[in-house]
């Protein structure tokens, strides 16, 4: 049984509203169209991959924005049919059920290739085959809701035999698991990948400046004029921001174990160590700024269980910057 592995990202964007409900276009109707890149954006809000999504488009009028957003929604729907664990008919669910997927689409192969790269850079800390660990922990705490201990060591050891990205074999002909019972979750990178795909789609259609949030954030400005301000929220108080960071033509992602906990006490989280089967991250949260949202997304997941020296090495390879919120709520910056 595949249980969707969900993640909540805690971030703040300076000057943006905090409304979380899905909404249609938001536009100052008193302004003439088209809007200049330095003026007010056309704003769309909705849902993508089970998470809040938002677009802020500059330099377009409402009609142009509607056309673009329809293209974006079609692209998101197409990608969700590949990567979403929420959809019973998705390709990833078919792969998890059958252990093999023939004739995979190019996007599936492209994302798996990125996973292979990040898996190697993080010495295995990033591993999409942790879905079986999610299932184990979720089932354990479902049966024992007041439990204060993780699944038994024998159960964890047995489950770890089904964890290992090296056992996922893929090419243009097929994707297959070398061991029966394995499960794949791309929730630690798919939202970033989709954010990058939407960014590319908007740029292809002539948008020069936009903020894209499909679960992860990416801001771009072809003219290098706009700086976005992103913030790291206080894990102890979601209404407060610990640090505000300027971002230009970059992507930003945050992962925190407190976002999705497995037990009532919040001791065990969704951030699993695929090498040991433990579910307690080293840091309260990890934020990553990188050239692409897929890298920022995957790194923020993997770095949650990595030591600082190894994080520095991996981040340097992708020109990423990292902010760690330590157990005492102090921020360590690794640039």
- Quote the pLDDT of residue 260: 73
Q: What angle is formed at CA 69 by the lines to CA 67 and CA 75, rounded to 5 degrees?
A: 110
| Confidence label for 235 from pLDDT (cuts 50, 70 and 90) | confident
Q: What is the mean pLDDT of the chain?
A: 86
Annotated binding residues: 188, 297, 301
- Quote the pLDDT of residue 117: 98
Each residue of 26-57: b (16+ CB within 10 Å) or e?
A: ebeeeeeebbebeeebbbbbbebbbbbbbbbb
- Quote the pLDDT of residue 268: 79
Q: Domains in the chain, ordered, with CATH?
A: 98-177 (1.10.3980.10)
| pLDDT tops 70 at residue 76 | yes
| pLDDT tops 90 at residue 259 | no
What's the rounded mean pLDDT across residues 207-226? Answer: 93
Q: Tell me what percent of the residues of the chain surpass a pLDDT of 90.
A: 69
- Quote the pLDDT of residue 47: 83
What's the rounded mean pLDDT across residues 173-188? Answer: 96
Is there a contact between 189 and 114 (Cβ–Cβ < 8 Å)?
Answer: yes
- Quote the pLDDT of residue 27: 31
Tokens of 172: 């243009």
CA distance linking residue 120 with residue 103, whole number of Å:
25
How far the first Cα of the chain sits from its last, in Å, is: 41
Residues 277-312: tens digit of each pLDDT: 998 889 999 999 999 999 999 999 999 999 999 999
| Confidence label for 144 from pLDDT (cuts 50, 70 and 90) | confident
- Quote the pLDDT of residue 39: 67
What length is written for the chain?
Answer: 335
| pLDDT tops 90 at residue 168 | yes
Is there a contact between 82 and 88 (Cβ–Cβ < 8 Å)?
Answer: no
Burial class (CB in 10 A: 0-12, 13-18, 19+), 314: buried
What's the rounded mean pLDDT across residues 89-111? Answer: 98
Q: Which of 189-198, 231-240, 248-257, 271-280 has the highest mean pLDDT?
A: 189-198
- Quote the pLDDT of residue 189: 96
Annotated binding residues for Mg(2+): 188, 297, 301
Tokens of 295: 């890298």
Maximum distance among all Cα pairs of the chain, rounded to whole angstroms: 66
| pLDDT tops 60 at residue 74 | yes
């Amino acid at each position: 049984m595949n249980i969707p592995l969900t993640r909540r990202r805690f971030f703040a964007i300076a000057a943006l509203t905090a409304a979380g409900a899905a909404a249609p276009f938001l536009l100052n109707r008193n302004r003439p169209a088209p809007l200049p890149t330095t003026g007010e954006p056309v704003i769309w809000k909705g849902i993508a991959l089970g998470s809040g999504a938002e677009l802020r488009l500059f330099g377009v009028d409402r009609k142009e924005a509607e056309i673009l957003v329809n293209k974006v929604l079609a692209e998101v729907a197409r990608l969700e049919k590949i990567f979403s664990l929420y959809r019973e008919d998705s390709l990833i669910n078919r792969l998890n059920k059958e252990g093999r997927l023939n004739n995979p689409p190019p996007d599936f192969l492209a994302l798996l290739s990125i996973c292979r790269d990040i898996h190697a850079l993080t010495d295995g800390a990033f591993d999409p085959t942790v879905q079986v660990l999610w299932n184990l922990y979720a089932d354990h705490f479902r049966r024992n809701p007041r439990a204060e201990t993780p699944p038994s060591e024998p159960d964890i050891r047995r489950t770890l035999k089904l964890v290992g990205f090296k056992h996922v074999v893929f090419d243009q002909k097929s994707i297959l698991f070398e061991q029966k019972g394995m499960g794949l979750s791309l929730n630690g990178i798919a939202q970033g990948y989709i954010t990058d795909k939407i960014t590319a789609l908007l740029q292809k259609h002539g948008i020069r400046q936009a903020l894209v949030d499909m679960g992860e954030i990416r801001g771009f400005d072809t003219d290098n004029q706009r700086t976005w301000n992103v913030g790291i929220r206080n894990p102890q108080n979601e209404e407060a921001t610990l640090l505000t960071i300027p971002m230009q033509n970059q992507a930003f992602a945050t992962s925190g174990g407190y976002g999705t906990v497995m037990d009532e006490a919040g001791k065990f989280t969704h951030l699993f160590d695929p090498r040991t089967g433990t579910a307690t991250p080293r840091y309260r949260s990890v934020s990553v700024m990188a050239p692409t949202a897929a890298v920022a997304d995957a790194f923020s997941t993997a770095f949650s269980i990595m030591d600082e020296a190894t994080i520095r090495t991996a981040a340097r390879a992708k020109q990423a910057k990292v902010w760690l919120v330590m157990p005492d709520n102090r921020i360590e910056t690794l640039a």
